[in-house]
Structures are given as C-alpha cells and as structure tokens.
Amino acid sequence: MSVLKWEPYVSVDTMDELIALAYAMEQEAASGYSELSSRMRKEGRTDLAGVFDRLAAEERQHIDNVTHWSHQVSGKQPEQSRISWQLSDVFDDEGAGTIAPELLNGYRAFSMAVRNEERAFVFWTYMAARAPTNELREAAETMAREELGHVATLRRERRLAFHKQRTASRRTAFAWDEMELRLSEQLEVAAARGTAAEGTRLRELARQARMRADSLARSPLGHSPLLQNTPSAGSLGMAALCELLLDCYLDFGERLPTESERNRAQKFAAATVHCLSAIR
C-alpha cells in the first residue's frame, strides 16, 4: 500500500470541514489528471491523453458525489474556507508531468492512479482514527471505503493495460551499446544544429556516449525490468532515450551483485545526468 508523504496528526472537527476536505482532494486529483491529459495531447500522445481524460472524468464523478453528500448534510456546496489547516498534496503525478512522453504508457498511468487512490485511502483511515466524534469517524470510514473501491477499479484497469502491453510487445532483450550509440548519433545531429558552444558541449557528450557503448559492448550490465514493454531505442527521441538509460543505470547502481558493477553503473548514471541536463 502506498504511504503518505506526510502524516496527518491533525483531525477535522466538523462535518462541513470533512466534506470540504474530501471535495478539495478530489478536485486536486481531477485537475492533475486534466493537466496531464493536456500535456499528452500537445505531445501527440492521444492514446495517453485518453487515459488521463478517463481518470479526470472519474475524479469529477467523485466531486459530484461529494457535492451531493454536502447537500444532504448541510443543504449547500462544500466550502473550502471550512478547512482549518493546510492540506499537503495527496495527489502525486510521480514525474508524469515532466518525463518524456515516449516513456509513459497506459500501465504506468494506471499504476500512478492506483497509488494515488491508495494514499487517499490511508489518509482517510488516519482521519477516522483521530476523529473526535462517532459521526466524523463513520464519515471518514465511509470515505476510506470509497477510496478502496476506487483502488479495486483502477487495479483492474491496470491489469488490462499490462496484458495489452505484454501482448503487443515482441522484444525480449536490449543491446545496451546500441542504445548508447543511438544516443550518440542524436547528440551529433543536435550539435550540428546548435550554436558553436552548444555544438562543442554536445559533441563531447556524444563522445562519452560512444565510450559507454564500447564499455557495454565488452561487458554488458545485464537486463533491467525497467525496459519491459518500453518502445525500441530507435523510436525514442534524444531526451527520452537519455532518461531511459539514466533510469536503468540508477536501477543497476542499487541492485547489481558486486560493488565494482554498482560503481560502474553509478558512474554511467552520473554522466547521463549531465547529458540529460544539457539536452533539456
């Protein structure tokens, strides 16, 4: 179960505040998914824009449900002014707003949504445990059950997305040196288009990528699970390919069996961070 980035030691004191809090959380999630949808559409990823549209629509339905609940309880709309303390972010896009869109897929999007709903469930269980009255405890428990239902729905969607990707994927292995050589080629092309200073910097990064390619051709790092169902290197743009390599090197830097192998992967990761910074 996903954990919160903070622990809510405070509690709510009235039903109006609890409902306003629920409304604010659902609004934050709906806005977050809508922003991701807009970004994916601008980047030409209409498939992912559709996924985030669905998630945003689901959150808007939750907003409507909370609004209906508020009218039943108090006869009025939820009021944000009722929240007496600062609501820290429960929604987290986990980098989807900045990562290269080529590295996103339906499975990753639904996984992020699952973890957000899990965090919301944990939040409401904290609220229930700290509720000062039975009425507020029962209301917080109701919200927790709602979030758990959302978790179950999204986990089903995630499984479907996983099986869809696995069926579509036909690759079983990656040639690390080819990925670095592809990055080197892209850097050389970018160098030819840039200013003199940019060209010098990018050509040096291309040379470093070729050196890593040579090292990997002689001694591959192995297979990374992060590469499963990832687009082929030839279809990735320069930033996306660099991000993918960085993620894999960081992964290897934590889990390879020997210290020398981990150090090698970490050295490659550090160089790739500088490369990604220059590209961006």
* pLDDT tens-digit map of 124-151: 888 898 899 999 999 999 998 888 888 8
Q: How far is CA 248 from CA 227, 244, 245, in A?
A: 8, 6, 5
pLDDT at 48 (0 to 100): 81
Of the listed ranges 173-177, 179-183, 187-191, the least confidently predicted one is 173-177
For 241-252, write each residue's pLDDT tens digit.
Answer: 888 888 888 888
Q: Which of 174, 256, 246 is nearest to 205 (CA)?
A: 246
Q: Which residue has the higher pLDDT, 175 or 170?
A: 175
Q: Return the percentage of the chain with pLDDT > 90, whole number.
A: 25
pLDDT digits (tens, 9 = 90+) for 74-110: 888 888 776 766 665 567 776 666 777 777 777 778 8
Mean pLDDT confidence for 33-40: 87
233: pLDDT confidence band, cut at 50, 70 and 90?
Answer: low
For residues 261-277, average pLDDT: 89
The region, left, alpha or beta by phi > 0 then psi within -120 to 50, assigned to residue 94 is left
